[in-house]
Chain A
Amino acid sequence: MTSRTVFFNVVRFFFLIPIQVLILNHINFSGYISPYYYIYFILLLPFDTPKWMLLVSAFLLGWSVDVFTNTIGLNAAACVLMAFFRPFVIRAISSGPESLMGDTPSLKNQGLKWFLYYSVILVVIHHVALFYLEIFRLSEFFATFVRVLLSSAFTLVLVLISEYMLYPRGK
């Protein structure tokens, strides 16, 4: 990791939290869709991030969002779980060393298919943990499931839009 990558990731950390807290937390479509775009930070951490750094930065990210929503520990737990699964997901969907080109996971480096697999799995893990922990009741299982699916889709759309905006030429 170069100091340039570290700098960009730190900037992204402090950029995504206000976006989440000041804009996205106020979005509400029919009580079912609430996007959690701030986890884009975890998706974009470089491949060679030390594993302890991965977990600790995810914890700090979730904690920072929690402070503003009065849900101490909720986002932190979901983020740490997502960060824990990240190395396993990367290993499972990468067929060979050629699929891990570049420093960071991105649409440009790995192609649409790889990036979709990668982000769908991790976003769904995060959203499942978040929504079911928040409710912690089995009686609303299916209503929560719908919320997870719709919100994950919305978060993914935001992630893909930002990927295309950052790398307009695609591959």
Chain B
Amino acid sequence: MRNLYLFFRQHYFYFLFLLLETLSLVLFFNYNEFQGSSLYNVSNAVSGVVNSMYSGISEYFTLRKTNRVLIEEMAKLHSRIPEAFYVTDQNIFYKKDTIVNLEYKYISAKVISNSTNKRNNFLMINKGSIHGLMNHMGVIIGNKIVGQVVSVSPHFSWIMSLLNKDSRISGKFKKNNQLVNVEWNGGSYRKGQVREIPKHVVMVVGDTIITSGNSDIFPEGLLIGTISGYTNAQDENFNNGEILFSTDFNSLGYVEVVVDMMRKEKDELRATFKSQ
């Protein structure tokens, strides 16, 4: 027993190293479950406050661009109000409320921390569970995609950016609806990879890729980017391409969170199918 004690005392440096290193690695690989614990919420609250201070200062530097985006958006909305239309037909059609149900609701949020230089990038926004945000909701800017919600605290949320190794977006060619997957391999934040393009699809540089709406995260038809290059693989069944993202991830100011109002119904349908 005494020898054992002496052994531990003599080599405590190695044991302490193993203990701390294992602890770090376990936390790193399991931190998705870890996010539920109270310790994570505390650290999220601290970093949330610091990050809002940072963005409070840095948002002044992007005011010019924010203004331009807002003006463009306003012009778009102005062109949609009834007064902007010239009525060519005097017939009036009534729409019954029960025919149209609201499927997607949008919540605007401010980005208070963002990165594009890591292999796995995240954003933090200033809306959280008290505003109705939940995991797996999509995040967009205008009609372009940004990422999805992966963790929510009462006032803040973490968004997994498209620039992340775990991010995989189901997209399709605008011209012929062929399904593809969009990923990001690191490197430049402007360019990503398009995977699993069937061989018979003829691509040209400049083809538009939009969201497919298959994933329940994004509505159909949002812009992902345009094809900027491709390879014709010889032995595989699929071709790969390079995509130029429409979103400028380095200058995100205000984003919108997509709330799918029929999410519950879709999930329930899927659950009943699985249980049978």
Contact = CB atoms under 8 A, between A and B. Distances in A.
Contact of A140 (B12, B117, B186): B186
Nearest to B54: A22
Nearest to A26: B115
Contacts of B50: 21-22, 68
Interface stretch (A3-11, A52-60, A99-107, A115-123): A52-60
A80 B115 contact: no
- SS class, residues of chain A in contact with chain B: helix
Interface residues of A, number: 40
B41 to A, nearest CB: 12
A21 B21 CA distance: 22
A76 B122 contact: no
Interface in A42-99: 51-52, 55-56, 59, 62, 67-74, 76-77, 80-81, 84, 87
A109 interface: no
Of the listed residues B23, B51, B189, the one surrounded by the most CB atoms of chain A closer than 10 A to its CB is: B23
Nearest to A34: B117
Nearest to B250: A28
A74 B34 CA distance: 14
A20 interface: no
A34 B28 CA distance: 20
A77 B122 contact: no
Contacts of A33: 117
Contact of A55 (B17, B26, B119): B17
A56 B46 contact: no
A68 B51 contact: yes
B205 to A, nearest CB: 22
Given A68-B47, A70-B122, A134-B119, A56 B20 contact: yes
A102 to B, nearest CB: 23
Contact of B28 (A68, A74, A143): A74
A31 B158 contact: no
A114 interface: no
A55 B189 contact: no
A31 B187 contact: yes
Interface size band for B: 35 or more
Among B16, B29, B50, B151, the one with the most A-chain Cβ atoms within 10 Å of its Cβ is: B16
Nearest to A84: B17
Given A131-B119, A134-B118, A73 B20 contact: no
A157 interface: no
A30 interface: yes
B185 A52 contact: no
B51 A32 contact: no
B232 interface: no
Nearest to B19: A55
A51 B20 CA distance: 13
Interface string B94-135: 000000000000000000000111111010100000000000
Given A26-B115, A68-B47, A76-B28, 13 more contacts: A26-B117, A28-B116, A31-B187, A33-B117, A34-B118, A70-B122, A73-B25, A81-B21, A84-B17, A135-B119, A135-B186, A143-B186, A144-B119
23 contacts: A26-B117, A28-B189, A30-B188, A51-B16, A52-B13, A59-B24, A70-B122, A70-B151, A72-B27, A72-B34, A73-B25, A73-B26, A76-B20, A76-B28, A77-B25, A80-B17, A84-B17, A87-B13, A133-B28, A135-B119, A135-B186, A140-B186, A143-B185
